[in-house]
Amino acid sequence: MVIYARISDDREGRQNGVERQEKQCRTLADRNGDEVVAVFVDDDRSAYSGKPRPDYIRMLQFLRDGKADGVLALAPTRLYRRLDDGLAFFKLINEGRLAVETVKQGRYDLSTADGRRDALRAAIDAQHESEQIGERVRDAKADSMAQGLYRGGPRPFGYEADGMTLRTLECPQCPAPDGFSVDRECKACGAAAVNSPGSEAWHLEKAIDAVPAGESLRSIERTWKELGVRTPERRKRQPDGTMGPPESRDWEWPAIRKVLLRPRNAGLMEHDGEIVGRAAWPAVTDESRWRACVAVLTNPERRTSTSTARVWLGSGLFRCWCGAPMKMSTSGATKTQAAQGAKARPTYRCSVVVAHATRDARKLDAYVQDMAIERLSREDAAELLLPPTPAEEPFEDLAAQANALRTKLDSIAADYAADLMTRKQMLDATALTRKRLERLNARMAERTSGSVLASLPLGTPAIAEQWTRYHLDKQQAIIDALMTVTVNKGRRGRPAGFKPGSSDGYFDPDLIEIDWKSPA
Ligand SMILES: [Zn+2]
Ligand SMILES: [Zn+2]
């Protein structure tokens, strides 16, 4: 008999798995009184990936040559992970009248219809199983994934062309440092490195922090354009088929969004849209800060910050007394009023019922802004508006826990690959670990995504100066975090002295209800 053993993941220590497979097969051979004439071992080759299994091929030849009369393996899945592999294998053992026995499923008897059906079924199951888990968990990790190495491609923004070196780190202490570790430590003095001001990594870090602080992608686009931040250079194919010179372009917000969402920014490895572990390159920023940014960018309820049309603070934000959001209406004057010389005035209207609340937009915006600025610059603003610092573990601990869970997912897959657990155990353990990981991720995102107010100079007069410089999206995010603005029903009739269509729009602060929100 020959023994065939296969390990499907090459992480360190997996060699034990092969030794264990061989040992169990030898025990089986002893029990059956079989002599083991050869042992064939393939390391790190999932049959499903279609990669060659050199020892498997040697074994088939060995059997074809009549040098042994059968095969022992731990389980059918060790022998084949694809139906066509299985069929070829069955053909060989049928023709050669060879014996096949596995530790887990006993002897194959291909001389009967039932035996052949069972063997086929085992091959089909193997393929199914392999498709379900093998491809993603195993193959990907088998290569560079397991080591967290960069898999090549165009230069990623924020990194050198090797994909592993940040562009650019500097040591706050050494003027000419001697490189940095993957944990962003200066190799010379051990200090924590910082992204060099003005470098790609620095701009990326700023943008990742700006998003949870209420900045829009368009405003980041504008800032980058102003500062001359451009895309990595690419060669474009010319009409004549040759490659043109390397060119870079101004960033556009959809591309910025994609770049910000990259797990690589947090030093994480991604495969098929899923984070599979720690990467071997240094992160642009902390995982928790990156997650806060991702949470905002991927939240479907986030008011879209990509429209150029909206320039009014209260659109979709202020409420009519009926509860519906108010929208901007450009037709402020009726025909009659227009005939009397009135101009259309920007006006908020109930978005549901035309006859409901209407208000002069400029006045209402100005009123709400004044209220907000006053509140934000009060001395006790930080105390009143920010949630108390949670006495929970710091971000780094959460990120470390998340990494531990990812490593655990790896080892579950590896244990399953080495037949140390059943399929059900593997699926249960994976589901449980994933759930814990999701909860952790949500907590990390939560911790920083509510920080729009935390990013302001609360309790200082600087708020008033800075307010007009904030992009509209940020102003809206601030108002939204601070208060609910409701426009109440006007009194019967017009206020004294009010003339329809006069330049002095209808506005009574008493009818504006402001509900301050308490810190989340
Ligand atoms: Zn240093
Ligand atoms: Zn209404």
pLDDT digits 0-9 by tens, 324-349: 888 877 654 555 555 555 556 778 88
Dist. CA 156 → ligand 1 center (Å)? 25
pLDDT higher than 50, residue 54: yes
Q: Is the dihedral of CA 418, 424, 428, 430 positive or negative?
A: positive
Residues 445 and 334 in one domain: no
Among 508, 513, 484, residue whose Cα is nearest residue 317: 484
The separation between CA 369 and the C-alpha centre of its own chain, rounded to angstroms, equals 35
Which tens digits make up the pLDDT trace of 469-512? 777 777 888 898 889 999 998 765 555 555 555 444 567 888 99
Residues 112 and 41 in one domain: yes
Residues 445 and 459 in one domain: no
Residues 341 and 408 in one domain: no
Q: What is the dihedral of CA 455, 460, 465, 466, to 10 degrees?
A: 0
| Parent domain of 188 | 166-196
58 domain-assigned: yes
221 domain-assigned: no
Residues 406 and 378 in one domain: no
Kindly identify the ligand whose nearest atom is closest to the C-alpha of 170. 1
Looking at per-residue pLDDT, the higher value among 396 and 157 belongs to 157
CB 4 within 8 A of CB 56: yes
Distances (CA, A) of 323 to 302, 487, 489, 492: 19, 9, 12, 20
Residues 89 and 183 in one domain: no
Kindly identify the ligand whose nearest atom is closest to the C-alpha of 357. 2
> Where would I find the beta strands (DSSP E) of 87-172?
99-102, 106-108, 169-170
Residues 78 and 186 in one domain: no
Residues 412 and 324 in one domain: no
CB 39 within 8 A of CB 3: yes
Tell me the C-alpha distance between 416 and 11, whole Å.
13
Dist. CA 179 → ligand 1 center (Å)? 9
Dist. CA 489 → ligand 2 center (Å)? 9
305 domain-assigned: no
| Residues with CB in 5 Å of ion ligand 1 | 171, 173-174, 177, 186, 188-189, 191
Which pLDDT belongs to residue 218? 87
Residues 118 and 174 in one domain: no
Kindly identify the ligand whose nearest atom is closest to the C-alpha of 319. 2
Give the helix/strand (H/E) hosting 359: strand 358-360
Tell me the C-alpha distance between 28 and 59, whole Å.
19
Q: Is the dihedral of CA 372, 315, 337, 492 positive or negative?
A: negative
60 domain-assigned: yes
Residues 465 and 504 in one domain: yes
Dist. CA 354 → ligand 2 center (Å)? 8
101 domain-assigned: yes
Instruction: Tell me the HSE value of 64 on the side-chain side, using a 13 A CA sphere.
Output: 11
Dist. CA 196 → ligand 1 center (Å)? 13
pLDDT higher than 60, residue 44: no
Dist. CA 302 → ligand 2 center (Å)? 23
Provide the domain count of the chain. Answer: 4
267 domain-assigned: no
Residues 129 and 39 in one domain: yes
Kindly identify the ligand whose nearest atom is closest to the C-alpha of 192. 1
Residues 416 and 475 in one domain: no
Which tens digits make up the pLDDT trace of 434-461? 888 877 777 776 665 456 787 788 888 8
pLDDT higher than 60, residue 360: yes
224 domain-assigned: no
Kindly identify the ligand whose nearest atom is closest to the C-alpha of 181. 1
Dist. CA 188 → ligand 1 center (Å)? 5
Looking at per-residue pLDDT, the higher value among 166 and 128 belongs to 166
Which tens digits make up the pLDDT trace of 102-124? 887 788 777 778 877 887 887 78
For residues 404-411, average pLDDT: 76
Dist. CA 139 → ligand 1 center (Å)? 39
For residues 241-254, average pLDDT: 88
Helix then strand then coil, in percent of the chain rounded to 5, is 45, 15, 40
45 domain-assigned: yes
Provide the pLDDT confidence category of residue 42 given band limits of 50, 70 and 90. Answer: confident
Dist. CA 346 → ligand 2 center (Å)? 18
